[in-house]
Amino acid sequence: MASGVRNLRRLPGTPPEWLVHDGPSRCPYLPSQIARLPLRLPTRRLRPAEFAQRLVAGDRRQGLFLYRPACPSCQACQAIRMDVYRFAPNKTQRRILRRGDALFTTDIGQPECTAERVALYNRHKLERGLVSSDGLIDSDAYEQFLVETCADTFELRYQHGTRLIGVAITDRAMDALSAVYCFYDPTYARFSLGAYSILKQIELCRAWGLRYLYLGLYVGGSRPMAYKAGYLPHERLIDGVWHRFEGA
């Protein structure tokens, strides 16, 4: 372990961070592109104001790590956020929220790693064609990805009766929520649980007096990421400046 620590690079900041990985890889969003996603490990848990600063700068969180695209020849990835007080749901979004509220209950709690959650996560990945059978995760990988954190993190649990049908992992900053990951039972795909989850997080922002909901990365040319442009108005981080988009 001591040898590994010596190979890390300490970055300045409040708190400082360790740069633990910085190398090229195949882009997870645009397979023809080479990605560079440096992973940084804060030296301690981030306070709400510190995490808010990192979100403004375009950071995403994965487990204990932060990352921000720094790709050599592509700038398709743009951090995207919504000012929840300006957001106006369209007819389809209003219907999704109304129907979901009539059918499902939502609870909030600390992220947990259970056999039920791991199985639901893998079903979501496999049955929606997001991963092959040899790419399924175990409880250790689930915990590292969705339970371990360097921020204030909670999970939204969506239930139909007593059945857990979806989980959304969300981070909280001083002035915002950041949607990390959502997975759900593919049997309920017709209820648009991914969209429902975003709408419920918008409600939480307003209830808690938080201005923004961060939706991760918008990637031009990536079909799975295209849905994010449908939440209007929204802002995208382009060349270090947040730009507002009123239309898709």
Q: What would the two tokens of residue 166 be?
A: 């979806």
How much is the pTM? Answer: 0.94
| Structure letter (DSSP) for residue 173 | -
User: Helices in the chain by DSSP H: which ranges?
Assistant: 2-6, 48-56, 91-103, 115-127, 139-142, 193-208
- For 8-67, the pLDDT digits (tens) are 899 999 999 999 999 999 998 898 899 999 999 999 999 999 999 999 999 999 999 999
> Would the CA dihedral through 63, 65, 58, 78 be positive or negative?
negative
| Structure letter (DSSP) for residue 7 | T
Percent of the chain with pLDDT over 90: 85
Residue 248 reports pLDDT greater than 80: no
Percent of the chain with pLDDT over 70: 96
- Beta carbons of 19 and 8 less than 8 angstroms apart: yes
Give the chain's domains with CATH numbers.
2-77 (no CATH), 89-210 (3.40.630.30)
Position 5 confidence tier, pLDDT thresholds 50, 70, 90: very low
**Strand partners of residue 183:** 167
- For 92-133, the pLDDT digits (tens) are 999 999 999 999 999 999 999 999 999 999 999 999 888 766
C-alpha–C-alpha distance, residues 80 and 226, integer Å? 12
Position 77 confidence tier, pLDDT thresholds 50, 70, 90: very high
